Structure 1
Amino acid sequence: MVATHLAAARRSICAGFFGLGTFMGMWGVMIPERVASLGLSELTLGLFLLVIGLSLCAAIFCVNRFVIFQDAVQLIRVISAFYVLGFAVVLTTGSVMMLFLIGIVTGFAAGFVDAGLNSQASEWEQHSGRRGMSFFHALFSLGSLSGAALLTLMLSLDLPVKWVIYGSAVLVGGGLAMRRQWVGTQTIAGTAANADIDVGADNSGSP
């Protein structure tokens, strides 16, 4: 029972890392287009990247300081929608003001979801007794390559990328929101139950 749950949780964690990486890859490809279409100067682009970075750091601070932000599963299932939709708007908006405003939201969402996924990955390692963090982060890199390759192909064929971006946001955000199997109380309860059984078995032959 516990092994089955951990296997399902592993698939959820894999989907999360891959999905987050996909939008990072898309962002990398779209930077030149964003600069050109919005008329961003080097200074403005630098400020935008700084704003996202500060927002992400602020989210990590909130996770470490406030209990309300320490439910990893809720962070992933709920905040991932803000992450993917935020990136979709950032990649397609025609307004510099919207770029910055949504960029702040996206930065916070990225920090929350990243913290949630890494927490889940760490818990999975503890409960399964296996190493997996490197594999999970490799999936993030694979997602980045996939997202970059997809948009590069679309742009090279001179095809519109807007609906591909929003479609990907719906698939990733909706997919993570609907996933029910994560490392959590069921795994912990199952592990405790197995431990009780083992203890009982060890004590059954004692006087």
Structure 2
Amino acid sequence: MTRSPDTPALVPAGLRGPAVLARARWATRLLFMALGVLGGAWGAHIPSVKARYAIGEATLSMVLLAAAIGAVLSLFFAGRIVGWLGARKAAMLAAGVMSVMLGSVLEYPGVAALLPAMLLFGASMSLFDVAINTEGSELESLSDRPIMSNLHGMFSVGGMTGAALVSVMLGAGVAPRLQLFGLCAGIAIIVFIAARGMLETHATGGEAGEQAHFAWPRGTLLIIGLLIFAGLTAEGVMYDWCVLYLKQEVGMPQAQAALGYSIFSAAMALSRFGGDFLRSRYSEQALLRLGGSLAAVAMALVLLSANAWVAWIGFALVGAGLAPVAPILFNAATRVPGVSRAAAIASVTSIGYSGFMVGPPLIGSIATATSLTMALGVLVLASALLACGAHRVPQRGD
């Protein structure tokens, strides 16, 4: 069964007009892009964090783990917060916190102070993520046409932009502290302005008979969550480790290595902008199967070659392969009956973000025992598992 596409009762009739929906779509695109910019800046500056605190891969993995733990813990309350405040206010609150946390990531006296800051950073990012995905699902339902891939494409554009800006500023000799402060301040301002265009929805609870709070994943939600776990594990490996891989294993300067993140994000964005077209014409199962296979094969070739050009091309193919995962699976979760959009997204994302929890210590442990190249084989495995499990995704109209 699928969720009824009828307009939810909690959306006033005056907020369903084409002009209002168009403004909300553009506002939500900007919010997805803003999240991507912060993610790109964070990914590109992970080597800066490693250098600033003079830590190895094992300790760095604990820093990344702290952010992932914060993200997962936040998801137990994110659906309720979005239902209480509304997607607009929840997004603004989360944007303020994550901008402050990332902007000050290089300012702490040591790792002991950095870890709780990373908890807050991860928690605020996951709340923001749930809020804007809830808004996007609502808009897709009200517009009666696919838009989720387009929205996630804007996230990838943001990731590409954030990493590219860092690359340019590093090349120009701008201090990492100034880079992060300027980017985070600018993003906070953009979010506060753009959020005014979001719909006045989700502030009065869920639809009739639906759970507005966190829903423990079971049945179809559990299957979708496990596939998101595989997809986000693979994606998270790229976000957290691809720049360090190019710098440390391939031997690139950090300014050039940051371009690897941009190439990955650019390919993901281009694929996502075409994703809604593909979703309307082809099976979502087939798209996930093809994408997972492409990402697994491409990353295997990157790791076997340890060549800069092969890595850049391979990162582009990995981005294209992983592009359909989040748009398809997040929206599939919202079609499960009996659970509100925010609660469904928070539920499956809680499992998916667990991949971010498992990934950092796993990568760090393997890298410490062997090499970072061997550790990044986790991405190959996760992508292959995603391809193998694609047939379990419920089809639209089932």
TM-score scaled by length of structure 1? 0.82
Q: Is the 8 A contact 1:25 1:145 kept in 2?
A: yes
Q: For residues 92 and 16 of structure 1, do their structure 2 counterparts lie closer, same or farther at Cα, with a shift above 3 Å needed?
A: farther
Q: Are residue 102 (structure 1) and residue 120 (structure 2) matched?
A: no
The answer to whether the Cα contact below 8 Å between 2:81 and 2:90 also exists between their aligned partners in 1 is no
2:60 pairs with one of 45, 54, 69: 45
Residue matched to 2:49 = 34
Aligned match of 1:194: none
Answer yes or no: is 1:167 the counterpart of 2:182: yes
Aligned residue number for residue 19 of structure 2: 4
Whose helix proportion is higher, 1 or 2?
A: 1
Q: Which amino acid aligns with 1:8?
A: R
Please give the alpha-carbon distance, in whole angstroms, between the structure 2 residues aligned to 1:50 and 1:82.
Answer: 18
Aligned twin of 1:183: 199
Alignment-derived partner of residue 39 in structure 2: 24
Q: Which residue of 2 aligns with 1:124?
A: 139
* Alignment length (residue pairs): 184
> In the alignment, is the contact (CA less than 8 A) between 2:34 and 2:158 conserved in 1?
yes
* 8 Å contact kept, 1:17–1:143: yes
Structure 1 distance, partners of 2:136, 2:107, is 32
Partners of 2:88 and 2:196 within 8 A in 1: no
Question: Deviation at 1:159?
Answer: 2.1
Deviations 1:184-207 (A, max 9, x none): 35xxxxxxxxxxxxxxxxxxxxxx
Contact 1:28/1:148 (8 A) holds in 2: yes
Determine the C-alpha separation between the residues in 2 that align with 1:119 and 1:173. 20
Q: Is the aligned partner of 1:151 residue 2:166?
A: yes
Q: Aligned pair in 2 of structure 1 residues 68, 149: CA closer, same or farther (>3 Å)? A: closer
1:195 match: none
Point out the more displaced range, 16-25 or 68-77: 68-77
Quote the offset at 1:170 in angstroms: 1.9
Counterpart contact for 1:37–1:94, Cα < 8 Å: no
Can you give the 5+ residue segments of structure 1 that lack an aligned partner in the other structure?
A: 186-207
How far 1:15 moved relative to its partner? 0.9
| Amino acid corresponding to residue 34 of structure 1 in structure 2 | V
1:40 Cα deviation after fit: 1.3
1:200 is matched with none
RMSD of aligned Cα (Å) = 1.9
* Post-superposition offset of 1:163: 2.8
Q: Give the number of the structure with larger relative contact order, counting CA–CA contacts within 8 Å between residues 6 or more apart.
A: 1
Give the direction of change, closer, same or farther, for the CA distance of 1:69–1:182 in structure 2 (3 Å limit).
closer
Q: State whether structure 2 residue 142 is matched by structure 1 residue 111.
A: no
Contact kept, 8 Å, 2:66 with 2:116, in 1: the verdict is no
Whole-Å separation in 1 of the counterparts to 2:107 and 2:168: 17
Shift of 1:113: 0.2
- What is the percentage of aligned positions where both structures have the same residue? 26
